[in-house]
Amino acid sequence: MIWYPYAQMKTLDAPVKIARAEGVHLYTEDGHDLIDSVSSWWSVIHGYNHPEINAAIREQLEKFAHVMLGGLTHEPVRRLSDKLAEWLPADLDYCFFSDSGSVAVEVALKMALQFNTNRGSDRDMILALEHAYHGDTFKAMEVGDDEDYHFAFGKNSEKKRGVIHIPTDISALEDAFSCYGERLTCFIIEPLLQGAGGMRMYDVSFIKRARKLCYEYDTLLIFDEVATGFGRTGNRFVADLVLPDILVLGKALTGGYIGHAVTVANKKVWEGFMSDDPTHAFMHGPTFMGNALACCAALKSIELFERDDYISKIRRIEEITRREMAGFADPRIKEVRIMGGCVCIEVYDEKTLCGFKKYAYERGVFSRTFLKYMYAMVPYVINEEELVTILNTMKGWFDNFRG
C-alpha cells in the first residue's frame, strides 16, 4: 500500500497516474496530456526527460551510482562544490550535501547552534518568520509556522519554546532584536517568497534590515532558498541581493531529477568549526550525501541555467503572467500575487477552490491547490501558449462560476 503525502488516506482522490513525461507535459496512463503547472513541487525547472541531464546521469551511472563521503570522495562531488563556490556570491563556499531540503535545513540550524557552542556562547533562541515553511522534520517544523502543519505540536506547544516567530515587518524585526538579539543563534527566513506558507511575497528592505541587525547582534542569517533558489523569484538567488551566512538549496538543485540538497556556509561559519579540539567537528553525515548521480544532474542543471540564460526565460514568464493577469479580479479573490516564476491567487474561502483540480485536468492542466491558494510555478522551459493555457484555466475557474 502506498501512503500518500498530506492526505487522509480514507478519502483520498485517486492520484493521476503518469506513464511518461516530456518537457512541460505529463502523459497519463489513460491518454491525457497535461501541462504541468507545479513542476513537481517546484523542482523540475528544465522540464521532464531532458536529453542532456539524462545523458549526464547515464554517463556517471556507467562508472558508479553512489559511494559514501565517509572516508571516500569523487569527482562529481568535487566539481559540484567547486561550481557552487564559484557560482554563489561572496564567500558562500563550503558545501555540506544531504538528501532533502528538510535535512539541509536541519543541518543549517545545527551548524548555527554548534557554531555558537564552539565559541563558548550559550545563545539558545532562534528567530523565524510567521507563515514560514522549512520542511517536515521536527526542528524544521519548529522554525516553521505553517497553519496546516501545526497539528503535530499545537500552536503554543512547549516544544516550540526557544523559537520566536515574527511577521515580515521591519518594526517587529527591530523589536525582536532589541528583546532577544543577544540570545539568538540565528535568524532563518525564506527570502522574498514564502512558499508553502501561502506564496507570500515581501520586500527586500526587510531582508536588508535583517542583515544589518544580524551583523550588529552577531547572529547568523540563514536563507532557506530551497524554493526560491535557481530563479524562482526572478533573481538567480535572493542571496545575490543580500548575503546570508548560511544558504540552503534543494528542490531545483538537481533540476528535479534526484532528491538532493546542500547547506552552504560562509568562511566565518566554516572557521567556527576549525579547531584542534575534535569535539568542534560538525557531527552529521547523511548516508546519501554527495550522491554521484545527483551531483552530475546538478552540474548539468546549472550548466543549462547559465548557458540558456534562464534569468531571461523567467523574466518572460513574469511578463506574460503580468500581462494575462492585468485587470483580473473577482469578489472571491483576496489578492493576486506575482513574482518571477510564481503566480498565486489567494481566495477568501478555501471552498472556492474545491473542484478546481478536476476542472483543470479536463482542460489539460495539472494543478494542485492548497488551502486558500491557487498557484502556478511552471518549468522555465514552458512556451507562451502553454503558459497562457495555464493562466486562462486559473482565470476561467472564476469566470465559469460567476453566476
Ligand X SMILES: *Cc1c(COP(=O)(O)O)cnc(C)c1O
Strands 246-249, 220-224: pairing kind: parallel
Phi, psi of 242 (to 5 degrees): -135, 135
Task: Work out the number of other CB atoms within 10 angstroms of the CB of residue 149.
Answer: 17
Sole binder of ligand X in the list 25, 50, 131, 134 (CB under 6 A):
134
**CB of residue 106 vs ligand X: minimum separation in angstroms?**
9
**CB of residue 114 vs ligand X: minimum separation in angstroms?**
20
74: helix, strand or coil: coil
Establish whether 361 is a catalytic residue: no
**CB of residue 133 vs ligand X: minimum separation in angstroms?**
6
Q: How far is CA 113 from CA 109, 222, 264, 309, 383, in A?
A: 6, 12, 15, 38, 45
Q: Which stretch binds ligand X (CB under 6 A): 171-179, 189-197, 349-357, 380-388?
A: 189-197
Site string for ligand X, 250-289 (x = CB under 6 A): xx--------------------------------------
DSSP labels, 5-70: TTS-TTTPPPPPPEEEEEBTEEEETTS-EEEESSHHHHT-TT-BS-HHHHHHHHHHHTT-S---SS
Query: Which member of 139, 160, 251, 300 is catalytic?
Result: 251
Query: Which member of 136, 145, 224, 245 is catalytic?
Result: 224
**CB of residue 197 vs ligand X: minimum separation in angstroms?**
9
Q: Which stretch binds ligand X (CB under 6 A): 119-127, 128-136, 205-213, 356-364?
A: 128-136
**CB of residue 111 vs ligand X: minimum separation in angstroms?**
16
Establish whether 224 is a catalytic residue: yes
Residues 321-360 close enough to bind ligand X by CB under 6 A = none
- The residue among 83, 70, 84, 53 whose CA lies nearest residue 288 is 70
For residues 12 and 344, the answer to whether their CB atoms sit within 8 Å is no
Q: Which is nearer to ligand X, 24 or 143 (CB)?
A: 143
Task: Work out the number of other CB atoms within 10 angstroms of the CB of residue 17.
Answer: 9
Q: Which is nearer to ligand X, 5 or 327 (CB)?
A: 5
Residues 234-253 close enough to bind ligand X by CB under 6 A = 250-251
226 near ligand X, rule: CB under 6 A = yes
Sole binder of ligand X in the list 105, 143, 242, 252 (CB under 6 A):
105
297 near ligand X, rule: CB under 6 A = no
Sole binder of ligand X in the list 39, 81, 98, 102 (CB under 6 A):
102
**CB of residue 274 vs ligand X: minimum separation in angstroms?**
28
Site residue total, ligand X (CB under 6 A): 15
Q: Which is nearer to ligand X, 25 or 134 (CB)?
A: 134
Cα dihedral 131, 133, 136, 139 sign: negative
Phi, psi of 199 (to 5 degrees): 50, 50
Encoded amino acid at 380, one letter? Y
Strands 163-166, 125-129: pairing kind: parallel
Sole binder of ligand X in the list 36, 106, 145, 224 (CB under 6 A):
224
95 near ligand X, rule: CB under 6 A = no
Q: Which is nearer to ligand X, 133 or 230 (CB)?
A: 133
133 near ligand X, rule: CB under 6 A = yes
190 near ligand X, rule: CB under 6 A = yes
135 near ligand X, rule: CB under 6 A = yes
230 near ligand X, rule: CB under 6 A = no
Task: Count how many Cα atoms sit within 13 Å of the Cα of residue 166 in the half-sphere of its side chain.
Answer: 22
- 118: cell is 564552539
Sole binder of ligand X in the list 111, 128, 176, 196 (CB under 6 A):
196
**CB of residue 260 vs ligand X: minimum separation in angstroms?**
9
Treating both helix axes as pointing N-terminal to C-terminal, what angle do 310-325 and 292-307 enclose, rounded to 10 degrees?
70
273: helix, strand or coil: coil
Closest-approach residue to ligand X (CB): 101
232: helix, strand or coil: coil
Task: Work out the number of other CB atoms within 10 angstroms of the CB of residue 308.
Answer: 13
Cβ contacts of residue 102 below 8 Å, gap of 6+? 134, 135, 136, 137, 140
For residues 121 and 282, the answer to whether their CB atoms sit within 8 Å is no
**CB of residue 380 vs ligand X: minimum separation in angstroms?**
17
Q: Which residues are catalytic?
A: 6, 133, 224, 251
Residues in touch with ligand X (CB under 6 A): 100-102, 105, 133-135, 190, 195-196, 224, 226-227, 250-251
